[in-house]
Structure 1
């Protein structure tokens, strides 16, 4: 008896089915799926599951034990999450030393999950150093006012500014006086240097004071400069935030800020980093961020990867809503919050060791777990198993699904950008230049003309001067990261 298997689904009967209904369903399925009759490659496995399900559900005492076991583990509830896996190869060869298998996993809220808005616990941590004066600070103030206008009475807001030191202008509170809050934001004046850590610490303290069991806890950090000497501590605080259900959106405006640091801080907290190349875009970025936060239905998602013996995970990338490398620690990956209408897609590369015996084999189980506030009648986790059929010879239509080909193509461009930057850091100017030129060609093939032009311009600059411009480096990095796999490409709509 395996509680995680849904025997009712296997026999295609309702949980309240009578003994006679179970018997009839079993007989129909046996006739359809018996290995002597069925041509399905997994007929033997399906038949075993049918037999196992009937042995339990056909015995009233075993059925009662099974039902109680599933109830105690929450397995009788439907999941708040939806997982759909697409594999690159349904068939693998026996006797081959090692084979690659790609898995594209689409993660979304369940289609019937209610989408009531969760209360926000939001802190804005804004750089007010001297370099922010003028249009940058004006637009940041306007963006802040736009966020304030979009808050509900149950939302909490705090406002922190930093330069050489941090100052809490608006302590965290709910049902804020919006006119007062906007007036406070308008008083921000530029001065001093950039010491990010102090602002980050003050912001996290405000969020801790205002968290509730159902709140979406989020910190928006915006800067236009380099923080000096406190990078390691900033990253440690971001990791702490991720462990305490606080995600970060890190925003860099202009070209003189540390994209590696902001990227890492966002990633370890389950958030995202944003490149703002013009002050005119600040307001739109702020509005988009608050819109996304308002759709969150699940928090602190993590995925556990359990590969079978002989199977190893080589790497994993998120490919929607944007591309970035995911770090695996103790078989777990931090995925952050999930919003309604904002699916996540993950692309994994597995390496499968030699298999001598033909037949179907389970290669991995992927389990996504999180916190879904206000949905006590739903499971907060879901899992999917990855299978492949080992055969001595490949026959028939064995094309790789177009969704995986598309994902791999865009991911290859993103990786090419990363390798070009590594070549540059190690003094391999010619190799970096060649990668940028090749990348530009591939971008043109995708119709990404503006990004292709930027790559070609930087390739020329690199060949002439031996370096990239700070602006060009960021434009290429964040531009290739935005080559996400659209939901319609995932679902094949």
Structure 2
């Protein structure tokens, strides 16, 4: 069952929400008298087609690792990528640049309409030195962003590193959580294999940003370009989802599956989903467990409310809601009819969760179980046509069985590769 978007109106006639919601439920009909049943709901969030697409001003800070390990091609490509970011800026954008190693240095304090040739020359003079203390750079970058934010600015940090930060991981995560509460999203980027993907993932998720794995230095420019392009499409600076299950229903788990897969932490029935672009969408899949339903009839299962901070619609409501219902039947022969997009989604999600379980097994020292999961993953990935990722999983399974460890590079390839198994927008629209 596909439910068209429901947009509520405020007190001004004709004003509608800037957000469009659609839901797909796995089961139109549920059986009464069953002790417990599972039901899946796909929620698709996109900007309303009538929403103005004028570009919001950016308040962007780059926080870049310049430690000794960045020397050579890595730092060269970072400089080139930063030059391209500077070229992309418009006069009303605010730009700041922080570099860090053992300490942080603000090379370019935040300002609008920057002198681009001068800014590029400052970037070009950066030299590698020292170790990696990420917290210092993070604090300096957040200070620049906070000091230059405006009512309609998109506040964002690109944080790039190639190494482990030591002793300040908890403080880094706490600052990222604060950033998320303050509508500052953080794109974390790791180059090579020697960085903490758990930390960078957690920081990005906490702030509503995205974590990116860059395996080769020459991909740095593309990663920066993709980020600045996405920032330029943002129409809603923050999307917050509230899930309200009906009595007898429990939300077991939730995942965002577009533009990439990530597990959602729905604390107090709320989840921060980050910014939304005018050509993008966020799709969430949720698993509900339903206790015994004694009576037949139509039952509301859950209500979903989505709030968005949309600066161009300041005088209109910035939220929308929808709900899902199912028919409760006593007919024991009711056949399940699950939409293909739900089946596809759960299949890809199963591979992502298998990767999570394999890493958990490895941490517990259960090498045999972790190896088996990776081998099963490889088979399923081949069935999806994901040959390169399947090969990586199979190679790491062999390495794990021989040595008891995964390579740092292989672990990241599997983690970030399975995250990219998101469903396509057309799969949702045409279901």
TM over 0.5: yes
Does the CA contact (< 8 Å) of 2:10 and 2:16 recur in 1?
no
Cα-to-partner distance string for 1:54-101 (whole Å, 9 max, x where unaligned): xxxxxxxxxxxxxxxx755x6862010000000000100000011111
How is 1:16-55 mapped onto 2 (pairs within 5 angstroms)?
A: none
Deviations 1:265-290 (A, max 9, x none): 00010111000000010000000000
In 1: Cα distance, 2:333 partner to 2:17 partner = 37
User: Matches of residues 142-161 of structure 1 in structure 2 within 5 Å?
Assistant: 142-161=80-99
Instruction: Answer whether contact 2:52 2:312 (CA < 8 A) is retained.
Output: no
Say whether 1:438 aligns with 2:345: no
Task: State whether structure 2 residue 149 is matched by structure 1 residue 183.
Answer: no
Do structure 1's residue 361 and structure 2's residue 330 form an aligned pair? no
CA contact (8 A) 1:128 1:137 kept: yes
Look up the match of 1:471. 409
Contact 1:91 1:394 in 2 (8 A): no
Residue 194 of structure 1: aligned partner: 132
Extract structure 1 runs of 4+ deviating beyond 6 A: none
In 1, Cα distance between equivalents of 2:208 and 2:333: 43
- Equivalent position to 1:233, from 148, 166, 171: 171
Match of 1:200, SS state, is helix
Matches within 5 A, 1:190-269: 190-269=128-207
Higher relative contact order (CA 8 A, sep 6+): 2
Partner of 1:66: none
Give the structure-1-normalised TM-score.
0.85
Per the TM alignment, residue 111 of structure 1 is displaced from its structure 2 partner at its CA by 1.2
Distance 1:393 1:280 in 2: 60
CA drift at 1:299: 1.3
1:30 corresponds in structure 2 to none
CA distance in 2, matches of 1:363, 1:207: 42
Matched position secondary structure for 2:195: coil
- Does the CA contact (< 8 Å) of 1:95 and 1:356 recur in 2? yes
CA gap 1:75/1:334 in 2 versus in 1, 3 angstroms: farther
Q: Does structure 1 residue 411 correspond to structure 2 residue 352?
A: no
Whether the 8 Å contact between 2:18 and 2:47 is mirrored in structure 1 is: yes
In the alignment, the residues of structure 1 paired with residue 10 and residue 44 of structure 2 have an alpha-carbon distance, to the nearest angstrom, of 27
Q: Counterparts of 1:378 and 1:277 in 2: how far apart (Å)?
A: 44
SS at match of 2:41: strand
Candidates 231, 249, 252, aligned match of 1:293 = 231
Query: Is 1:271 aligned with 2:209?
Result: yes
Q: Per-residue displacement from partner, 1:434-464 (whole Å, max 9, x unpaired)?
A: 1000000000000000000000000000011
Task: State the Cα distance separating 1:340 from its structure 2 match.
Answer: 1.2
Deviates more, 1:215-224 or 1:396-405: 396-405
**Which residue is 2:3 aligned to?**
none
Superposed CA offset, 1:277-336 (max 9, x none): 000100000000000000000012111111111111000000000000000111100111
CA pair 106-394 structure 1, distance change in 2 beyond 3 A: farther
Residues 234, 278 of structure 2: 8 Å contact kept: yes
Question: How far apart in 2 are the matches of 1:278 and 1:342?
Answer: 27
Shift of 1:467: 0.3
List aligned pairs for 1:266-345, cutoff 5 A: 266-345=204-283
Q: Name which of 132, 144, 149 aligns with 2:70.
A: 132
CA contact (8 A) 1:417 1:435 kept: yes
Matches within 5 A, 1:52-201: 71-72=10-11, 77-201=15-139
User: d(CA) in 1 for partners of 2:76 and 2:108?
Assistant: 18
C-alpha distance 412-276 of structure 1, shift in aligned 2 (>3 A): same
Long gaps (5+) in structure 1:
1-5, 10-69
User: C-alpha offsets along residues 414-453 of structure 1, whole Å, 9 cap, x if unaligned?
Assistant: 0000100011111110110010000000000000000000
Match of 1:36 in 2: none
8 Å contact kept, 2:28–2:337: no
CA separation in 1, counterparts of 2:211 and 2:364? 26
Partner of 1:382: 320
Conserved in 2, the CA contact under 8 Å of 1:370 and 1:380? yes
Which has the higher Rg, Structure 1 or Structure 2? 1
Q: Deviations over 1:200-225 (max 9, x none)?
A: 00000000011000000000000000
Count of aligned residue pairs for this structure pair: 426
5+ long unaligned stretches in structure 2: 1-5
Distance 1:93 1:396, change over 3 A: closer
Q: Secondary structure at the match of 2:311?
A: coil
